[in-house]
Structure 1
Amino acid sequence: MATPPTSTKTSLQQRLSQRARERWPQLTGVDVRFRGQFAYVSGVLADGEPLSLMRLRYGGSAARWGFAIYLASKDGYEDSFLPTGDSAGAPEDALDTACGLYLGDPTTWT
């Protein structure tokens, strides 16, 4: 079970924050918390309310992370597939997938 180095943690926060600024104006920020090999990602809505989005699993590469969507119905994470059909990929693609679901923009999947 590899844990991401500090440089990868910093890079992930920067990449997701940049993507949110470019693509998701409904979010005022992105919060990434790390625990072991996992990165838990929440968006921050305009009213300051946090929105749980996803969990990423570090597998040794800063460019490719395992993806699990947050399911409010079970208050937990479910390993999931990206629109490409892969269960791992770029963190920006994972953010787009989760935000497409929770912010109501399914065009991110096409």
Structure 2
Amino acid sequence: MPTPSEHTRLQLELYLQIRAEAAWPQLAGLHVRHRGQYAYVEGELADGERLKLMRLRYTGTASRWGFALHDPAGDRYQDALLPTGSHSGTPEDALDTACHLHLTTLNS
């Protein structure tokens, strides 16, 4: 079970922040917490509320991470497929998938 280096963790946070700013104006910010091979990502709304979005699992490369969505009903993370049909992909694809699910359901 590999764990990401400090450089890889910072790179992940930068990639996610850039994507959030470019594609998800509903988010005032992102918060990433690292624990072992996992990165837990929360989105912050304009009113300060935080939403648990996803968990990423380091696979040994900075460009491909395992993906799990946060399930608010059970307050847990569940492995999920990206639109590519894979359980792993780029951090940006993972963020887009999680935000599409969590942020569009807020506006419904």
Q: TM-score interval w.r.t. the shorter chain?
A: over 0.9
Q: Map 1:16-95 to 2 at 5 A.
A: 16-95=16-95
Which amino acid in 1 is paired with 2:15?
R
Please say if 1:97 is aligned against 2:97.
Answer: yes
How far, CA to CA, are the matches of 1:15 and 1:99 in structure 2? 15
> Any runs of at least 4 consecutive aligned residues in structure 1 with deviations exceeding 3 A, and if so which?
none
Distance 1:26 1:87 in 2: 26
Deviations 1:6-38 (Å, cap 9, x if unpaired)? 000000100001100000000011111000000
Deviation of 1:61 (Å): 0.3
* TM-score between both structures, scaled by the size of structure 1: 0.94
What is the TM-score of this pair, normalised by structure 2?
0.95
Distance (Å, rounded) in 1 between the aligned partners of 2:59 and 2:71:
22
Unaligned runs of 5+ in 1: 106-110
Aligned residues: 105
Deviation readout 1:44-83 (Å, 9 max, x if unpaired):
1001111100000001000000000000011000000000
Identity, in percent, stands at 57
Structure 1: which amino acid aligns with 2:76? G
Could you say what the CA RMSD is over the residues aligned between the two structures, in angstroms? 0.9
Q: What residue identity is the alignment partner of 2:45?
A: L
Structure 2 residues without counterparts, runs of 5 or longer: none
